[in-house]
Amino acid sequence: MTLFEKIIARKIPADIVYEDDRTIAFRDVNPQAPTHVLVVPKQVIPRLDTAGEGDVAVLGHCMLVAGKVATQLGLGSYRVVINNGEDAGQTVFHLHLHILGGRKLGWPPG
Ligand code: AMP
């Protein structure tokens, strides 16, 4: 099981802010901004570059959920990030979208 599957299965705790049949969203345990939430598809896709045509609907749904959750949390400006691969900072190989907001965000990201 991936770490995030364990959260989905309630085997480890998380501060869940949203859930539906295809996704779950919870606060990052090591926040990089005042609001830092992860949107995770329940279906395991290890990395963005392992996603295929069959994943189009769930990936699109994750994007809509990210917007909905950001609004729900009162964010107007925010960034949505997917880290793909170790050099990009990916540490959990169960695709997820980071929502980062609540402070001014620098560009380009480090
Ligand atoms: P990434 O580095 O893009 O793979 O993102 C993985 C994220 O998961 C990191 O920002 C971690 O802080 C976060 N994380 C790791 N373990 C947990 C956990 N138990 N609950 C919530 N977030 C976690």
Distance (angstroms) between ligand 1 centre and the Cα of 57 equals: 24
Number of domains the chain is built from: 1
- Per-residue confidence (pLDDT) for residue 35, from 0 to 100: 98
- Per-residue confidence (pLDDT) for residue 110, from 0 to 100: 84
- Domain with 70 in it: what CATH number? 3.30.428.10
Cis, bond preceding 108 (omega within 30 deg of 0): yes
47 backbone φψ class: left, alpha, beta (φ>0; ψ -120 to 50)? beta
Domain housing 14: 3-100
User: Is 59 exposed, middle or buried (CB count within 10 Å of its CB: 0-12, 13-18, 19+)?
Assistant: middle
Considering the domain boundaries, does residue 73 fall inside one?
A: yes
User: For the chain, how many residues are written?
Assistant: 110
In tens, the pLDDT along 10-65 reads 999 999 999 999 999 999 999 999 999 999 999 999 999 999 999 999 999 999 99
Distance (angstroms) between ligand 1 centre and the Cα of 66 equals: 16
77-101 average pLDDT score: 98
Question: Ligand 1 within 6 A of 30 CB?
Answer: yes
Question: Nearest CA to 37 among 109, 95, 105, 101?
Answer: 101
Considering the domain boundaries, does residue 105 fall inside one?
A: no
- Per-residue confidence (pLDDT) for residue 3, from 0 to 100: 98
- Per-residue confidence (pLDDT) for residue 52, from 0 to 100: 98
